[in-house]
Amino acid sequence: MMDIKAWISNPKVIANSKKGYAHFDLRTDITKVSEYISNPEKVARHSFYPFIHYVMRMDKYNKKTGVKPKTREICYAAHMDRCIYQYYSAILNENYNKYLIEQNIESVPVAYRTNLKKSNIHIAHEAFQFIRENKNCLVLIGDFTGFFDSLDHQYLKQQWCKVMGFDFLPQDHYAVFKNVTKYSMWELDDLLSITGLSQKEFNKRRLALSKEEYRNNRSHISRNNKTKQIPQGSPISAVLANIYMINADKEIHDYVKALGGMYMRYSDDFIVIVPANRSEIACFKNVLSILKGIPNLELEPSKTQIFAVAESRVENIGRDLLEKADVSKKVINFLGFTFDGQSVSVRSKTISKYYYRMYRKAKSISKNPTLSGADNLYKSYSIHGAKAKPGNFFTYINHAKEVFGEDELIDRDLKNHIPKIRKALKGKK
């Protein structure tokens, strides 16, 4: 049973419960509503507000193709609702972690874990070290198409019950489940139109809408009537995504471990490593078969790659098994790092994104005769700001060098970043 007092006193929990945005209820935090959210009867009767929905742009930059638009659907909950989701997320996480230990798969799901205390850097390091130690092996890299949008509600409910040890969901858990599956939404753009405010001005409001405005504009509320999909952005979505995968994680882990291999999953990205020669690639058919058995899960063909590693060389052999496998990649990319069979470096796309953002910022500064903002540019985009709070990209790079070791090529493509910043500030690239 979770110690509610200890949980609420955790500074991270308190910080995560405090949000400054405007919503349909008043701002609050865990410390003020702990008795309410931990009372099952109150939660069972709680009236959840619609999520506010918007589309986040996450443009990707590629050195060859330039900027590639990418978006993500984001839903954020009302303040009291958020605290309820946060509390039930903690309950689920506690039981999920226990379930993983019971099933001997605590090393498999490595994202959104409350007790793992590992970053993507540590996880990528473990994977690449395993490949090195086994010398000859097969590696499967993949992720799922529209992961959060694909989660089947009935299957999710079954997994929720399994992790909690329920025969059926109690009324409070069912209320949370119902409102994170058959959820309602209100578009942020519509709210801005109704109020005539910019997003910055809107979030300064005490309430997103007055009671009268809310009542008169309810036609803007839409509902997810599909039998699948959960909202991205809610405090409970991440643990639900992990719970959804417990059967697949167990089956794949047991099968791969019996072959002397390793399986790890970071949200919708996963890696399977099996000590074997190229001729034994058929072993991955069983892995893919297990994944196909999970409702609505579909592999993203463009991101599914199979490699043979032998004598410190990496060969993409995806077409040996999958007709639509991506064979363009000649190195193993996993969680932001690249392994070519001999050394590890930061993924080229990550470096390209860093330079794209730096040049864009430098371009606007270079137009100012006094170069106002140049100091902040160095602080935000150079090694000089790595130790300053809150840190920058080079803080991350330095941490990666500590984990992977100085012999790797972690900062190879960043050696000349200071001269490049100087040139950019002079209007040159």
Supply the DSSP string of 322-354, one letter for each residue.
-TT------SEEETTEEE-SS-EEE-HHHHHHH
Q: Which residues contact 314 (CB under 8 A, 6 or more apart)?
A: 307, 308, 330, 331, 332, 339, 340, 341
Among residues 144, 27, 142, the alpha carbon closest in space to that of 77 is found at 27
Q: pLDDT at position 371, please?
A: 74
Q: pLDDT at position 66, please?
A: 63
Among residues 340, 383, 338, the alpha carbon closest in space to that of 358 is found at 383
Asked if 268 contacts 146 with a C-beta cutoff of 8 angstroms, the reply is no
Q: pLDDT at position 138, please?
A: 97
Q: Which residues pair with 72 in a beta bridge?
A: 56
Q: pLDDT at position 323, please?
A: 85
Q: pLDDT at position 394, please?
A: 96
Q: Where is pLDDT greater, at 349 or 128?
A: 128
Q: pLDDT at position 15, please?
A: 87
Q: pLDDT at position 63, please?
A: 60
Among residues 95, 74, 78, 76, the alpha carbon closest in space to that of 37 is found at 78
Q: pLDDT at position 429, please?
A: 61
Average pLDDT of span 338-345? 95
Residue 56 has pLDDT above 90, yes or no: no
Q: Which long-range contacts (CB under 8 A, 24 or more apart) does 357-362 make?
A: 357/381, 358/417, 358/420, 358/421, 358/424, 359/424, 359/429, 362/421, 362/424, 362/425
**Averaged pLDDT score across all residues of the chain:** 92
Q: pLDDT at position 325, please?
A: 84
Q: How far is CA 139 from the centre of its chain?
A: 22
Q: pLDDT at position 257, please?
A: 97
Residue 104 has pLDDT above 80, yes or no: yes
Q: pLDDT at position 1, please?
A: 67
Tell me the two tokens of residue 133: 């130690």
Q: pLDDT at position 59, please?
A: 64
Q: pLDDT at position 118, please?
A: 86
User: In degrees, to the nearest 5, what angle opens at C-alpha 346 toward C-alphas 377 and 320?
Assistant: 145
Among 8-22, 333-347, 408-422, the minimum mean pLDDT is found in 8-22
Which band of pLDDT confidence, cut at 50, 70 and 90, is reported for residue 135? confident
CB atoms under 10 Å from CB of 269, counted, come to 20
Among 51-60, 203-212, 319-328, 344-353, the minimum mean pLDDT is found in 51-60
Q: pLDDT at position 170, please?
A: 98
pTM over 0.75: yes
What whole-number distance in Å separates Cα of residue 84 and Cα of residue 12?
16
Which band of pLDDT confidence, cut at 50, 70 and 90, is reported for residue 60? low
Q: pLDDT at position 5, please?
A: 77
Instruction: Give the percent of the chain with pLDDT over 90.
Output: 76
Residue 67 has pLDDT above 80, yes or no: no
Which band of pLDDT confidence, cut at 50, 70 and 90, is reported for residue 57? confident
273-300 pLDDT, tens digit each: 999 999 999 999 999 999 999 999 988 8
189-236 pLDDT, tens digit each: 999 999 999 999 999 999 999 999 999 999 999 999 999 999 998 999
